[in-house]
Amino acid sequence: MKTINIDGVEYALVPVGKLEPEVQLNITRFKGMATESDKYVFEATKIQRTEWPPEYYGIDIEFTDKRSKPWKTDHWDNNSWMNEVLDNNPESLKLLDHICPQGIAEFKAFLKVLKEEGWL
């Protein structure tokens, strides 16, 4: 065992093990909004850029279909398509054929809120 003498007092040096290396984290900040009904969940996430100025850009919507178990989820990140759904574009609405009319109405109402908030 190693010792050290300070002002005439002998101290034992006790090994404490290795110190953990410093961890570098890459933090992603985001904002979110969600709506849920008995059949569906729509959760919008807006990611913040890491560059300066750290503006938010684009949205991703996680869609959950709760009509049968296990619930099915999907991710939608095409903001142009979302705007086309709001504009009742027939080609864009075809991609929602698997959702009932209530779900389409809920999705369009959610998109309208996102547009009013400046997210779309």
Query: How many domains does one find in the chain?
Result: 1
Instruction: Specify if 78 maps to a domain.
Output: yes
| Polymer length of the chain | 120
Instruction: Specify if 69 maps to a domain.
Output: yes
Instruction: Specify if 71 maps to a domain.
Output: yes
What secondary structure letter does DSSP report for 71? P
Mean pLDDT of 26-49: 89
Rounded CA gap, 76 and 70, in Å? 20
Q: What percent of the chain has a predicted confidence (pLDDT) above 70?
A: 88
Rounded CA gap, 22 and 98, in Å? 49
Instruction: Specify if 86 maps to a domain.
Output: yes
pLDDT of residue 108: 97
Q: What is the pTM of this model?
A: 0.74
- Cβ-based burial of 62 (10 A; exposed 0-12, middle 13-18, buried ≥19): middle
Sequence-distant (6+) residues with CB within 8 A of 43 are: 32, 33, 34, 61, 62, 64
Per-residue pLDDT of 42-92, as tens digits, reads 999 998 776 666 666 789 999 999 999 999 999 999 999 999 999 999 999
Domain containing 73: what range?
A: 19-116
Instruction: Specify if 14 maps to a domain.
Output: no
